[in-house]
Structure 1
Amino acid sequence: MALPSQTERQHDGPRTTYHQTSRGGNGPNWKGLGGALVLVAAAVGGIVWLTSGGGSPSSARGGPENADTPQIAQHDATPAGGTKVPAAGGGERPVSPGVTRTPTPSPTPSPSPSPMTDPIAKGPGDVQGAVPSKDPVREQPRPIVPEPATLTPGATETGKPLPADATGGGTAPKGAGETTTTPPDPQGAAPVTPLPSSDSTRDVRDALAEGRRKMSAGDPVGARTSFSRVLTSGRASSADEADARASLARINEDLFFSTTVTPGDPMTDTYVVKSGDRYGAIVRDLQLLVDWRLLERLNKTPPERLKIGQKLKVVRGPFHAVVDKSEYRVDVFWGPPRDESSWVFVASYRVGLGANDYTPVGRFRVRANGKHVDPSWTDPRNGQRFAGGDPKNPIGNRWIAIEGEGEAAKYKGFGLHGTIEPESIGKQMSLGCVRLASGDIEVVYELLTEGVSQVVIRP
């Protein structure tokens, strides 16, 4: 099935070295002829010995195939028939006792459009996936602290997340004319700043005040829960939502997106690497309900550098996404799929939407087998096909298919994906899907789980 996604785009001898020997002399020298013959015989014997392999430099090193050239192993992939097979070299290799793993060579990608899925996917979807990304570990994009004034449709967008204030103090971002104040440093024992009046209900105001008190008391886990109630209540003013979201972004920079494991945090735990471990196996054995790449991201350790005894930060899902069309924003939450009131905020990212308000609203779920890395895509308007990994592919490097529930079940072929048009973020330019900047969609992809994660799209 062709999927809606993006706006239409225009596309457009070996060198031989000759060795020359020099000859010289003034005629025969019979006196030294005998000595010369002895030297010639010795030289010929040496050449024979070398050519027989006795002194070959390559044989001493084991040959060029053992040279110290770094390679990144290819992870599990699914061939066209849909049966999982390990990639060359066994994919993500398990940890061996006392040995730092060396990545195995990755095979040359096949030009065939056959579906290739990541380790969690079980088969092809509407968009054909490719092998997992082999990019090195890099700094994850920092979630935004969105403010209504900066997310107005038609505003200039860079496609990059807005940085959150990571200092933990000072003044939070200003939006729509209001000023909000972040909690003081708990070490200073300063009083909590009184909250200004707003249109929020009393319980929302109490949750904000409680969050500030817990931050002042050095309880970021409790503060995150309190501030999250502001966002899930549906009864907060835009100013109070912005205040809570700004505080949550700062809290989660350390609580979630760092290598730190905070005692009492129900989302995270510590795992000690043992012999034979790899990220994918850890995720499956612990039933974490996240993509294995999330562990790689948070621990800043490539798979081939895992060591026995190393302590890893692990994260337990499930996570869910709430798209606010009016604000061009997606919020990611953690919690039970059907208990939205108890969800806990994780991050916010900017999004682009369908032209002419074509992005549907309603409740969706990430479709089983619907997540793909480097997907191929066919433009439904003209039939033009883009291969996975093609830099001109309008849907970028990630695809998350969603299926509607209830009244939204009539909507088919929609999803969340990347983009090669960062200027479209914050605007209505897609064919109906929700698009994110490349770095942002990678994080959302790692958080959402097939068949479990909810995606709520609001007007």
Structure 2
Amino acid sequence: MNWNMQRIVIVLVAVAAVVLLVWALQNNQDQPTPQPESTDPSRPAPNGTATAEPTVTPTTQAVEPPQPVHLPDDDAAAVDAYRRGLELLADKQWLAARETLSAALLSGHLSGARAEDAREQLEELADKTIFSRSVYDDDPYTFRYQVKAGDMLNQIERHFKLHTPIELILRINRMSDARKLKARQRLKLVRGPFHAVVNKHTLIMDLYLHREGLSPVYVRQLPVGLGRDDGTPAGLWRIRHGEKGRRVAWYPPPSSGLKGRIDWGEPGYAFGEKGIWLPLEGIDETTEGLVGYGIHSTNNPLSVGQTVSLGCIRLLDDDIELVYALLYEKWSTVRVTR
């Protein structure tokens, strides 16, 4: 083989080697890079440990709910559940403790120091498992969702049928503006609805989370102001659809002695600086057809804890913000008891 032929062979071999190298590099880039198995300590363990970041994007497939806790209607069963709940709490089984203590408290058969202790423990558990950004494994009420391009919060809420206000999603995920939602952002979502029970004797509102098929979860107690002369009707209500809002106009009832419409910021405006209004719609035989009642912020915070209103339910500023974020139009109920 002469020298010219050798040079041609060498060039061809070199070109072939380069082509093979380029092909190998491109093919390797198309393959996923192997990831080591996660050793992140924030990964959840069953019924006890939180994760601050999502690991999967949930689907709309129904979650198989645990069986709700049912207690016999007596004091002994409630006390037993209370004690068992404290044991679960000491064992850091947060979800089981939350369910068991809620069943004990909501049974109505705990009294005195036990009821107060259960309520305090449950408020702390609600802050840990519901109102924080953490999601706990096996919690039927919370899950994570990774935002897709074009998503909006109201669409996400409707898609998953959460029955919780957008304000709650913003509050939990430390967001100030729903319009700043970004693709691939990871959200904690809560399956609602929330409900309220208002006791006319104690002037207290109890808030709890309850979705059909799941055990109710107690979350918070708030002081309220109610109507003078037994002016807040007892019975079952729900949040009226389409009228919940901020800085809404106030139309004084005839009994107020005031006339006409009073807008936010004007003298005599009853809803205070917040101007928050959640209208109530009666849905049982004692409240159906009653109009003009609602839950609202107030220009007289000292009236909370008293019976001096015109019949509505008054809340302090921080408390009305929470209630506004929890109670969902048409789905959330408010039971007023004597």
Alignment TM-score > 0.5, same fold: yes
Letter in 1 for 2:277: W
Aligned residue type for 2:325: E
Give ranges in structure 1 of 5+ residues lacking alignment. 1-199
Q: Which of the residues 252, 272, 282 maps onto 2:156?
A: 282
Identify the match of residue 385 of structure 1 among 231, 248, 261. Answer: 261
Cα distance in 2 for residues equivalent to 1:305 and 1:401: 29
* CA deviation string 1:136-189 (max 9, x = no partner): xxxxxxxxxxxxxxxxxxxxxxxxxxxxxxxxxxxxxxxxxxxxxxxxxxxxxx
Task: Please name the residue that 1:365 is paired with.
Answer: 238
Alpha-carbon distance, 1:389 to partner: 5.6
Deviation at 1:304, TM superposition (A): 4.1
Instruction: Name the CA shift for 1:215/1:429 in 2 (closer, same or farther; >3 Å).
Output: same
The C-alpha deviation readout for 1:287-312, integer Å capped at 9, x for no partner, is: 21111111111111233443322211
Match of 1:264 among 124, 130, 138: 138
Q: Which residue of 2 aligns with 1:348?
A: 221
Match of 2:97 among 223, 233, 252: 223
- Deviation at residue 390 of structure 1 after TM alignment: 4.8
Residues 8-157 of structure 1: pairs in structure 2 closer than 5 A: none
Distance 1:367 1:398 in 2: 14
Give secondary structure in 2 for the equivalent of 1:403: strand
Shift in Å, 1:266: 1.7
Instruction: Quote how far apart the aligned CAs of 1:225 are.
Output: 0.9
- The 8 Å contact of residues 191 and 211 in structure 2, kept in 1 or not, is answered as no
Q: 8 Å contact 2:238–2:332 — kept in the other structure? A: yes
Counterpart-to-counterpart distance in 1, 2:328 and 2:306: 27
1:384 and 1:287, CA in 2 relative to 1: closer, same or farther beyond 3 A? Answer: same
TM-superposed deviation, 1:392: 5.2
Name the counterpart of 1:438.
Answer: 317
CA offset at residue 391 of structure 1? Answer: 7.8
CA–CA distance in structure 2, aligned partners of residues 280 and 411 of structure 1: 30
**Structure 1: distance between partners of 2:258 and 2:162:** 41
Write the distance in 2 (CA, Å) between the matches of 1:443 and 1:363.
21
Q: 1:394 — aligned with what?
A: 270
SS at the partner of 1:370? coil
State yes or no: 1:449 paired with 2:328: yes
Q: Which residue number in structure 2 is paired with residue 319 of structure 1?
A: 194
For the residue of structure 2 that corresponds to 1:297, the secondary structure is helix
Task: Map Cα deviations across residues 360-389 of structure 1 (whole Å, 9 max, x no partner).
Answer: 111112222231222101222321422146
Query: Could you tell me the percent identity over the aligned residues?
Result: 36
The answer on whether the counterparts of 1:228 and 1:344 sit within 8 Å (CA) in structure 2 is yes
Q: How far apart, in 1, do the equivalents of 2:179 and 2:228 lie?
A: 43
CA distance in 1 between counterparts of 2:139 and 2:301 reads 35
**What SS does structure 1 have at the residue aligned with 2:244?**
strand
| Distance change (3 Å), C-alpha of 1:391 and 1:452 | farther
Change (3 A) 1:391 1:291: farther
- Kept in 2, the 8 Å contact 1:415–1:434? The answer is yes
1:343 Cα deviation after fit: 2.2
Report if the CA contact (8 A) 2:234-2:286 is conserved. Answer: no
- Is the contact made by 1:369 and 1:450 (CA closer than 8 Å) also made in structure 2? yes
Q: 1:345 deviation in Å? A: 0.6
Are 1:300 and 2:161 an aligned pair?
Answer: no
CA contact (8 A) 1:370 1:402 kept: no
Supply the AA of the counterpart residue of 2:226.
Answer: L
Deviation at 1:407, TM superposition (A): 2.4
Aligned to 2:281: 403
Given the alignment of the two structures, is residue 249 of structure 1 paired with residue 123 of structure 2, yes or no? Answer: yes
Q: What SS class does the counterpart of residue 196 from structure 2 fall into?
A: strand
- How far apart, in 2, do the equivalents of 1:391 and 1:203 lie? 53
The 1:251/1:420 distance shift into structure 2, 3 A limit, reads same
| 1:207 alignment partner, one of 51, 64, 81 | 81
The one of 275, 283, 293 equivalent to 1:414 is: 293
Gapped runs of 5+ residues in structure 2? 1-73
| CA deviation after TM superposition for structure 1 residue 264, in Å | 1.7
SS of equivalent residue, structure 2 residue 126: helix
Name the SS of the counterpart of 1:386 in structure 2. coil
